[in-house]
Amino acid sequence: MSTTMEDISVAINQINIKKQTLHQSFQTLQTIIPIPNKWSDFDSYFTSLHSSLQTKLTLLQTRPELISFCLHSNGSGLRDFIANADDPLALLPQLPAAYAHAPDPASMVLDAVAEGFYSSGGKKKKVTELGLVRGACLVMLEGLVGFGVGDEVRDKAMEVAKKWFGRYVLGIEEVREVNVLGFLFLVGVYGLVDRFRNDEVVDCFVVVARRRQAVELCRRMVPSDKINDLIHKLINKEMHVTAVKFSIEFQKTDVFPPVRLLEEHKLKSMRVIEDTRHTSVNDPHICNEVMMKEINTLKSIIKCIDEHNLQSEYPKDGLVELVNKLESEVRKSKQAIVKISNDNSGFRKQPTSEHVCKKPKVNKVSPTDVSAVARTVQDDMQIKESHSEESDEVPDHVGQDHNSPGGSSPTDPGPIASSYGFKVVNYGFIGNQMPADVGSGFYVAQPNPPSANNSNGWISD
């Protein structure tokens, strides 16, 4: 059996290499005969197949280390093991079976998560190490979905949640999505939703709304009459694409029409581009940065149209043409900057040693030349300032409102796995699915944990 599993694992790991070879063959074939299908169609199919096979293979393996940690209620050991794994997210589907061997899974996970996320004791962790540990904590919490939680453990979890909320969600300059997502998982898994105000929970979801987990979390934690408030806040944060997702998922399109939201987002983006063209006409670097940001916004609208099948209501051809035109404009601007830089590279010569020793020649300036000298000095100062600005990279969180839990940047920060510190992308829900009668909470008041053979779960879309 082990040899067979190894063979399967090797074959799955070679899928990407074989897909690249197939892509090259496809491109060659396209030059010979017309092919009705696009490569993106094949790529999407192979990617889906790869993900499905990897998940099934993972479910067939039960790592003995995970079982050992759980048998001995060694939550901190399990957390560190996950954090240091080559593929931490691949361990997620194995956790429910491993948790079944723990005397009290909810208590074990709570202790590990509380200590790992914000413990002030012990040596101070490096930023990278802390990111991996927090990512492992989130994986542990998600793996716990569906397990029973006793009243004593729930009360203890509430104390942790209050500290977590006060320390990582409120009163800080920068609200990190991973902190808020961890808080929401903690509240949901341990059945603490009714112990926090609805507006506090809604504000937290504004922070993590772009994440794949957000819709399912929201479905279980936010009352239906508060969904409108959430979508309004997303729109106010200029997160129109995300607002469209929630509008469709929660059947609110009559109140928040997707086409109207996307068109508003497009028009706002175009206004920003036009304003930048006028205000930054003498600074092509800044202009290009703003243009690229808004191009990404327009691309997100196109992606939204595809994902939600809105092509018939909102044709994307005009948007695609617009994006191509803007990208061409930026490309030509960058080429012009490079050309000017190359032309001027030899204009000013560095002083040699003999020049340094000589006393500089002082020209007498007549009163009528004073204004010309002033203009020259002013121009030099502007040149120096522009070079100083060019050396600073524009951070991803520019324009972010960090004073409230709802402070999210208008641009997509990337896959959630990257914010965990993990290299793996497409992090979705894999764990035990909640019974239909659970209500807004995640926990199930059951005497025994789910069987290791339980196949029901949250499957990533």
How high is the pLDDT of residue 365? 39
Among 326, 324, 301, smallest CA distance to 313 is for 301
pLDDT tens digits for 222-243? Answer: 999 999 999 999 999 999 999 9
Lowest mean pLDDT among 76-90, 266-280, 373-387: 373-387
How high is the pLDDT of residue 257? 96
- Band of residue 68 on the pLDDT scale cut at 50, 70, 90: very high
Mean pLDDT of 264-286: 88
Alpha carbon distance 195, 404 (integer Å): 20
Percent of the chain with pLDDT over 70: 68
Mean pLDDT of 285-313: 93
154 Ramachandran zone, left/alpha/beta (phi>0; psi -120 to 50): alpha
Most confident listed range (142-151, 234-243, 396-405): 234-243
Lowest mean pLDDT among 165-179, 287-301, 334-348: 165-179
Alpha carbon distance 177, 225 (integer Å): 24
Whose tokens are 């990404």? That residue is 296
How high is the pLDDT of residue 108? 96
Alpha carbon distance 453, 455 (integer Å): 6
pLDDT tens digits for 422-456? Answer: 433 333 333 333 332 333 334 343 333 333 333 32
Structural domain spans, the chain: 62-237+401-461, 240-341+389-400
DSSP-derived secondary structure for 69-132: HHHTT-HHHHHHHHHTSSSGGGGGGGHHHHHTTSS-HHHHHHHHHHHHHH--SSSPPPHHHHHH
CA 281 to each of CA 284, 285, 344: distance values in angstroms, whole numbers, following the listed order? 7, 10, 20
Alpha carbon distance 206, 453 (integer Å): 36
Lowest mean pLDDT among 148-152, 197-201, 256-260, 438-442: 438-442
Whose tokens are 């453990």? That residue is 153
Q: Is the pLDDT of residue 341 over 70?
A: yes
pTM, two decimals, is: 0.62
Using the CB atoms, write b or e for 91-122: b if 16+ within 10 Å.
bbbbbbbbbbbbebbbbbbbbbbbbbbbeeee
CA 185 to each of CA 151, 201, 385, 434: distance values in angstroms, whole numbers, following the listed order? 18, 11, 46, 14
Residue type, 160: V
Q: How many other C-beta atoms can be found within 10 angstroms of the C-beta atom of residue 52? A: 11
